[in-house]
C-alpha cells in the first residue's frame, strides 16, 4: 500500500513520526508502550506488549526502507535491543508483556520529576529539557513528566550546535 498510494503513505509516515517522537515510544530503554491515553499521544499506558513491538518493528523497517528516515532505523534497533535485554527469558523465548505498574503505581519507572532530571543531567539539563519538552506547562500529573520530543534529532542538532 505504501508504494502504491501516496495519500496513504503520507498518513502512515506522519503517524509513525508521531509515534517515534511521542510518549508511546520509550525514549530511554527503547520499545513501545501499548497505546496512548491522550489524543496528543504524549502519555502512554505504560504496559509493553511483545506483539505490539513486533508489529512496529515490521512497519518501521518497511518505512525506513521506503524513506531512509534514520529515526525509524534507530527506533527499530532500540526496540530489538529492548526486547532482547528486557523481555527475553532464560530459555531464549520472550515474555508476552511487561506490566505498566512499578510498586503499584502506573508508569512509576518511566516518569520523571524536573528536579530528578536536573540532578542527573546537571550541565546537560537545559538541552535535554528543550529536546524533550521538560517545561512547566507540560507536566503530566503530580509534577511528573513523560519524555516526548517535538522535532527530529537532526532538526534539533541544526539549531543547537
| Residue with the three cell numbers 525509524 | 72
Average pLDDT estimate for 58-82 = 97
pLDDT at residue number 19: 93
Number of H helices, E strands in the chain: 6, 8
pLDDT at residue number 155: 87
Q: Is the pLDDT of residue 46 over 90?
A: yes
DSSP, collapsed to helix, strand or coil, labels residue 26 as coil
Tell me how far apart the alpha carbons of residues 54 and 45 are, in angstroms, rounded to a whole number: 18
Phi and psi, residue 52, nearest 5°: -65, -45
**Model-level pTM?**
0.90
Q: Is the pLDDT of residue 53 over 90?
A: yes
Q: Is the pLDDT of residue 150 over 80?
A: no
Give one word for 75, left, alpha or beta, with left for phi > 0 and alpha for psi -120 to 50. alpha
Tell me how far apart the alpha carbons of residues 8 and 91 are, in angstroms, rounded to a whole number: 41
Enumerate the domain spans of the chain.
6-100
Tell me how far apart the alpha carbons of residues 22 and 147 are, in angstroms, rounded to a whole number: 8
Instruction: For the chain, give the percent of residues with pLDDT over 90.
Output: 75
Amino acid at each position: 500500500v505504501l508504494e502504491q498510494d501516496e495519500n496513504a503513505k503520507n498518513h502512515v509516515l506522519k503517524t509513525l513520526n508521531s509515534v517515534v517522537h511521542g510518549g508511546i515510544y520509550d525514549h530511554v530503554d527503547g520499545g513501545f508502550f501499548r497505546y496512548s491515553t491522550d489524543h496528543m499521544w504524549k502519555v502512554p499506558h505504560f504496559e509493553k506488549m511483545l506483539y505490539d513491538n513486533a508489529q512496529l518493528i515490521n512497519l518501521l523497517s518497511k518505512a525506513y526502507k521506503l524513506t531512509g528516515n534514520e529515526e525509524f532505523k534507530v527506533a527499530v534497533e532500540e526496540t530489538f535491543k529492548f526486547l532482547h535485554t528486557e523481555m527475553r527469558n532464560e530459555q531464549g523465548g520472550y515474555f508476552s508483556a511487561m506490566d505498566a505498574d512499578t510498586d503499584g503505581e502506573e508508569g512509576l519507572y518511566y516518569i520523571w520529576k524536573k528536579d530528578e532530571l536536573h540532578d542527573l543531567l546537571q550541565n546537560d539539563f537545559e538541552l535535554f529539557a528543550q529536546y524533550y519538552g521538560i517545561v512547566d506547562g507540560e507536566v503530566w500529573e503530580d509534577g511528573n513528566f513523560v519524555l516526548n520530543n517535538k522535532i527530529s534529532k537532526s532538526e534539533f542538532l541544526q539549531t543547537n550546535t
